[in-house]
Amino acid sequence: MISRFVTKMRIASITNRNTINKSKHNFVSVILVTSMGVTGVIWGMGEMKWLQSMELGIYDRMLRLRHREPMDPRLLLVTIAEEDIKREKWPLSDQTVNQLLKKLASYQPRVVGLNIYRPQQKDLGNNLTPSGQVIATCLLSNIGRSEVPPPGNIPTDNIGFDDVVSDNQVDQVIRRALLFAEPTEKDEKCQTEFSFGTLLAITYLDRQGIRYTFGQNQELQIGKAVFHRLDKNGGGYQHVDTNGYQILLNYRHPQDLAQQVTLTQVMTGKVKPSWVKDRLVIIGAIANSVHPGYYTPYSSLSEQSPRLSRMMIHAQVASQIISAALDGRAVINYWSDWLEWLWIWSYAVIGAILTRKWHHPIPVTIALTVVILLTLAIVTILSWQAIWIPFFRPVLCLIMSSIAMISYTSYRVQKQNQIILAQVQKQQQAIEEMSLLWEQKTQLPTHVDQFDFVDAVTSGDTDLLLAGRYQIMRNLGSGGFGRTYLVEDTQNQNKDQHHTCVIKQLMPARRDDKFLQVARRLFNTEAEILAIVGQHPQIPQLLGYFEDRQEFYLVQEYIVGHTLSQELPPVTGAKSQSFVIAMLLEILEILSFIHQHHVIHRDIKPSNIMRRHQDNRLCLIDFGAVKLIQPQINPGTESATVSIGTRGYSPPEQLAGHPRLSSDIYALGMIGIQAVTGNFPQELPLDPQTGNVVWRHLGIVSDQLASILDKMVCYNFGDRYLSARAVIEDLNCSFSP
């Protein structure tokens, strides 16, 4: 007989278990799909340049937030302002320019840069010594603009082009420095490859014995400083035009760039020789009437002029190159593409994980806010180290990933609710039919042939496996509805997850075809419901279910712990108010979850609440509807009836066969009263007028908690709390610190 049974067990269908496993969405796969999908959307938006302006705006703000550096002591700026133009007239005469250069040369500057176009002047600086001290400028041809040639008597090696590059397609702000460029065929006279600012710096450093080279990857190197060529997708840029040799311009604060004197001060001898000696002197117009200037990252500062002159831009470039070569001042850098996208994708992962972990909007909002603030701190600190990393894209990825996960979770909850509602309807129909069958059955059988697996194993049948995979370890208990076994899953490859589990053997009280048909429907619907609610971390996960020999089996997660019965009277003394509040809040959170899915536990009692040893959390076990196929017939302290539930803990409507969501709240309230009074619920007196439990004189608790417990256990379900969430809110409101 046993061998036939074993054979039958080995071929028992476990299709239901496979269905459950398929319906369980793997946490990692959901996170990966969501994060990769959101990152792909962000990438597409980046390719369309929709996010570039935001990243550049944040970059500008990071530059402005940096600590202000001291002035560059190697530069002197000779500015031509509106007052100077009124005195000398514009354009400056050849005589005035040469007189200015001669005056400066007497103070022995190392290099003089003249950022004024002098294409007609043939004798520029002829009388200066040493020769080659003056760097002049020209202008390359551009769309709709002809070239501006350099002075005729200045050698090409002393000519730098005056062109700059701005982000015209975004906001016309200058964030990049153009160091080198190839003249076009239209540039007949402006044939230099060096920008004006670059040539000034290179000439200045060359006279100090520091020369430029092009090292690995043909990148400019001067001294120990390497000026990395800007990539078209560098930092927050997306497909930017990087023709020529461009770098990110590492601005000094415009007010702290270098010492400044006016043209008038130089011409009238009001400049100290020490201000000029061995310095790089740059001469240029800052008057708006000459040129309106350019927008910079500092243009939004109230104390700063909205635009910066071309001369000041070249001075910034020269200062950056010189200070990097001599002082090791940082050159603004950025991460490679793959590292940036890893950084951005990680935020999609974080957003998905946080939203998946905390479903309530308040903790999710707090967590996201903390992450954004931490990101801002990281980006700011790195910007101080001259490293530009994206901020807007990862934050947007974080938010979009959270929204996507919320939408996905809401969709899944809706689908699960639809499934559960359908199963609940089937369950209710089965319960009604089961109740009719119990009414037809006036006497329960005194004995039913039930196969005992433990006896089979101890008798020598060690090869016995339930469903061909579960090896029995020991019998955990038995009751009127069947037995519970601790088993080892021999087919589980992951030894760390559900390797040891529990099988509950449920034996129908009757074996006639009609009863078994209804019992099977009730069992299947209950199992499908458990498969969904078991996703809560404090409800045992349903790992599978199957039927064999007209008996039903649930395979569930094994929770190592002890029941709440061992913590309550009479095993212990009456519990404190703080214990009761903590216990109520923890179980109410679980009830809130299952009630949102329209599921009623039906058998809340201390023996169905486990204290998990791993994390000391309370877990809810043994949902009650399936027990109707074999109710307990031996009355005890927690005596059961043919209806689902346990006397003392079950409210009147549930004992009458009409449970509601508030029925679970009633049962939990009775556990709370048992904890504070030390009395079993069935021992408490009832008010003959209202039917409500009279218990306050037996326990010592605050009026607030007593009122909450009274409302939880009202005889009339209409007078009770309508939801577990309402009880939680009252408890938090009354006892929050």
Return d(Cα 367, Cα 362) in angstroms, integer. Answer: 9
Is 610 within 8 Å of 621 (Cβ atoms)? yes
Bridge partners of 552, per DSSP, are: 506, 547
Q: Is 257 helix (H, G, I), strand (E, B) or coil?
A: coil
Q: Identify any residues that bridge with 503 across adjacent strands, giving them in sequence order.
A: 485, 555
Report the C-alpha gap between 719 and 721 in whole angstroms.
7
Asked if 94 is an active-site residue, the reply is no
Residue 647, C-beta contacts closer than 8 angstroms, at least 6 positions apart? 638, 639, 640, 641, 655, 682
Measured from the Cβ of residue 685, the count of other Cβ atoms closer than 10 Å reads 11
Nearest-Å Rg of the Cα atoms of the chain is 41
Residue type, position 478, single letter:
S
Does a cis peptide bond (omega within 30 degrees of 0) precede residue 119?
no
Rounded CA separation 214/130 (Å): 29
C-alpha dihedral, 374 to 377 to 378 to 379, nearest 10°: 120
Q: Would you list the DSSP string of 49-118? A: TSSHHHHHHHHHHHHHHSPPPPP-TTEEEEEE-HHHHHHH-SSPPHHHHHHHHHHHHTT--SEEEEES--
Contact 332, 250 (CB under 8 A): yes
Find all residues with CB under 8 Å of 633, minimum gap 6, and list them.
444, 480
Contacts of 530 (CB under 8 A, 6+ apart): 542, 554, 556, 623
State the amino acid at position 118 in one-letter form: R
DSSP secondary structure of 488-554: EETT-S-TTSSSEEEEEEE--S--SHHHHHHHHHHHHHHHHHHHHHTTSTTSPPEEEEEEETTEEEE
Helix (H) or strand (E) segment spanning residue 197: helix 196-206
122 is in an annotated binding site: no
Please state, in angstroms and as integers, the Cα–Cα distance from residue 510 to each residue in 1, 431, 506, 514, following that order. Answer: 21, 15, 12, 9
List 60, 163, 603, 710, catalytic entry: 603
Phi first, then psi: give them for residue 185, nearest 5 degrees.
-65, -20
Phi, then psi, of 486 in degrees rounded to 5? -90, 125
Q: What is the residue whose two structure tokens read 């009354």?
A: 734
Q: Are 549 and 451 in contact (CB under 8 A)?
A: yes
Q: Name residue 262's beta-bridge partners.
A: 79
Please state the φ and ψ torsions of residue 380, each to the nearest 5 degrees.
-65, -45
Amino acid at 409: T
Q: Which of 153, 151, 89, 149 is nearest to 127 (CA)?
A: 153
Return d(Cα 734, Cα 711) in angstroms, integer: 14
What burial class does residue 130 get, using C-beta atoms within 10 Å of its C-beta: 0-12 exposed, 13-18 middle, 19+ buried? exposed
Pair type for strands 111-115 and 212-214: unpaired
CB 507 within 8 A of CB 551: yes
ω into residue 737 within 30 of 0, thus cis?
Answer: no
CB contact at 8 A, 79 and 262: yes
Enumerate the known binding-site residues for ATP: 504
Enumerate the known binding-site residues: 504
Q: Which residues are catalytic?
A: 603
